[in-house]
Amino acid sequence: MRRFLLLPLLMAVSSFVLAQNAGSTPAVITIPVVVHVLYNNAQQNISDAQIRSQLDVLNKDYSGTNADRSQTPAYFANLAADCGFQFKLASQDPDGLATNGIVRKYTSIQYFSNDDRAKSATNGGDAAWNRDQYLNIWVCNLTGGLLGYTSAVGCAAEKDGVVISYTAFGTMGTATAPFNGGRTATHEIGHWLNLRHLWGDTYCGDDGVDDTPQQRASNRGTPTGERFTCGNTAHGDMYMNFMDLTDDASMHLFTLGQRQRMRALFASGGARQALLSTPALQQPSALVKAIPSVAETTLPSSFMVVYPNPASETIVVDINTKEAVSGKLVIFNAAGQPVLSQQFNSNHAVVSISQLPAGIYYLRQGNTGSFVKFMKR
């Protein structure tokens, strides 16, 4: 099992952003997240609760409030940082519609690798949302023991984000020991925020951060005590750092220097500065025209079927055409407000409605102008 950085970080970008004054950024930087769940079977279609468990880990790890922070040895404790980041599931999708920040998509692909197919709708994955407004996380079945990988800062926009195995995401459900502490995402998002592995991805290399001791290569498993490599001084490797490769239970800190490097991306001219003004966390306010009468909105049952109806947690949408269809399903409340949207790529889609209040709703496929009525209880 391993964590993996897809591309070498762009040193020109790194040098530039580190030269900026990070003092102009907010004390706490809030990053909107969209989680693309790619599933080939029911097990891979992880629950909303499992996704929320991962967000909880991220918010603790990046604020230095994780409980296992107390395990940091005294000789490194003064370097441990509150990095000043929080992560929230998006409230608004790229079209300005309400979203719960989770996209669920069935895929015929049984295994993904580090070739970015997960980020391509035409290759069985799901397209990235605008990287200037969202952190894209794809959760899928990764092959070859791969836990996750990350794009480089400055990569092509459609490839920007993090891919995580469904067996290493969050702290419950399908998350599997020893990688069931949510630290794979903490580690990979560290790369997304311009951190390198502690050994600089070369023998006794440099990660570009002054307060992380030089080390020979990655540490694995659950090391204890002082571990000296590369002739590093004082207390040896900082193997409990999130940017090493130990088991989840053994990693629990970022340093002050790593904090500075990450936050520099959000300073004036920084590669991720645009995220500071994203509308992704705002509640959509635009109204569409009033929903027509029930008689006008109901599509022939031979075209689109929604069941169960009433429903409480999920609805299943079957579109009865001979040709395969894809696009967007949009749910409106009784006032005509769009409250939820989801991409689909087949004639059969499962939509989570657990976050919606009880009431009457209308489902529309794309911009067809016709609706199917259902009840949330």
Q: Which residues are catalytic?
A: 188
Query: Are 301 and 258 within 8 A, CB to CB?
Result: no
What is the distance between the alpha carbons of residues 114 and 166, in angstroms, rounded to a whole number?
A: 14
3-state secondary structure of 253: strand
Of 167, 184, 185, whose CA–CA distance to 176 is shortest?
167
Write the single-letter amino acid at 29: I
Q: At what angle do helices 48-61 and 183-192 cross, to 10 degrees?
A: 60
What is the distance between the alpha carbons of residues 374 and 362, in angstroms, rounded to a whole number?
A: 6
- What does the DSSP assignment read for 54-73? HHHHHHHHTTT--GGGGGS-
280 CB neighbour count, 10 Å cutoff? 25
3-state secondary structure of 144: coil
What is the distance between the alpha carbons of residues 168 and 290, in angstroms, rounded to a whole number?
A: 44
- Cβ-count burial of 339 within 10 angstroms (0-12 exposed, 13-18 middle, 19+ buried)? buried
What is the distance between the alpha carbons of residues 81 and 233, in angstroms, rounded to a whole number?
A: 21
What is the distance between the alpha carbons of residues 251 and 220, in angstroms, rounded to a whole number?
A: 11
